[in-house]
Amino acid sequence: MRALAANALIALLVCAGVAPASAGDSPSARPGVSVLAPPLRIAPLGRDRTLRIYLPPSYAQGQRRYPVIYMHDGQNLFDAATSFAGEWGVDETLDELARSKGFEAIVVGIDHGGDRRTTELNPWDHPRFGRGEGEAYLDFVVEVVKPFIDARYRTRPEPASTAIIGSSLGGLISHYAIHRHPQVFGKAGVFSPAYWVAPAIYDYVREHPLPATARVELTMGGREGSEPITDVRRMQALLAQAPATRGQQLVLEPQAEHNEAAWRARFGPTVIRLFDLPD
């Protein structure tokens, strides 16, 4: 076990079938954040999962369709009262991007599974944390959540308009997702990825190169420890070897730590770059 990185990350890692409706909006489709009820079922795992939906300011006006950002750890995205250690401020950030840049998107926050988080967000088995359930979780996102959202909200469902973003283990599963399902996700924001939990990710990325249209942004804080920084630099070098390199980059923030405050600060700039918004 890599003691320095592991000890710094473990506390955060640990804590922290629906029939499609007819075409049209959900009755609760109003701008702002709402909690979907009832939760959706992860059938292979026998668990339910709550979704938190952000709709942009102009959603109630007209019939415009919007890109969608899928995010993990939904409890931490919108409300400090439900978060583990502060919120990302996703709604405030996107409201500001709507005002300043005219960019609007739907965000689907998928709640984490509490003490199951370390297995649900890892596609591979781990000798300490147990059998990886990331494949079943990701199938749930792709086969249940996304069709549910596309059926009920005015989305732009194509990969170029579909992003997946997460931090730590959420960063790990987000990076895996874009390589596993490039026909679904065209953009990935990989914040402070916990690659140390799943070293098999390097071979998987090497063996499953991305299409030229994919966009991946790796972000890491300079105060997260030398080993996580080494890991993310290794991944960036690996991505740079692939034919499609234009949309892949690493952003290192020297003073940032491994926490929601850091991810909140990086969320807006990452969205700007992933969606090619003007500076």
Kindly list the structural domains of the chain, giving each domain's residue range(s) and its CATH number in brackets, ordered by start.
Answer: 28-274 (3.40.50.1820)
Residues of the chain predicted below pLDDT 50: 1-23, 27
Cis ω before 123 (30° cut-off from 0): no
Instruction: Please give the pLDDT value at position 279.
Output: 80
Burial of 81 (0-12, 13-18, 19+ CB in 10 A): exposed
Instruction: Please give the pLDDT value at position 138.
Output: 98
* Beta-strand pair 51-55/32-35: antiparallel
Instruction: Please give the pLDDT value at position 15.
Output: 38
CA–CA distance, 120 with 39 (Å, rounded to integer): 17
Instruction: Please give the pLDDT value at position 22.
Output: 35
Among 249, 262, 53, 71, CA closest to 177: 71
Q: Which residues pair with 52 in a beta bridge?
A: 35, 109
C-alpha separations of 133 from 46, 88, 216, 277 in Å: 12, 25, 23, 35
Instruction: Please give the pLDDT value at position 199.
Output: 96
Q: Is 272 helix (H, G, I), strand (E, B) or coil?
A: helix
Give the CA dihedral 215, 218, 219, 220, nearest 10 degrees: 180
Among 69, 70, 90, 59, CA closest to 154: 59
pTM: 0.90
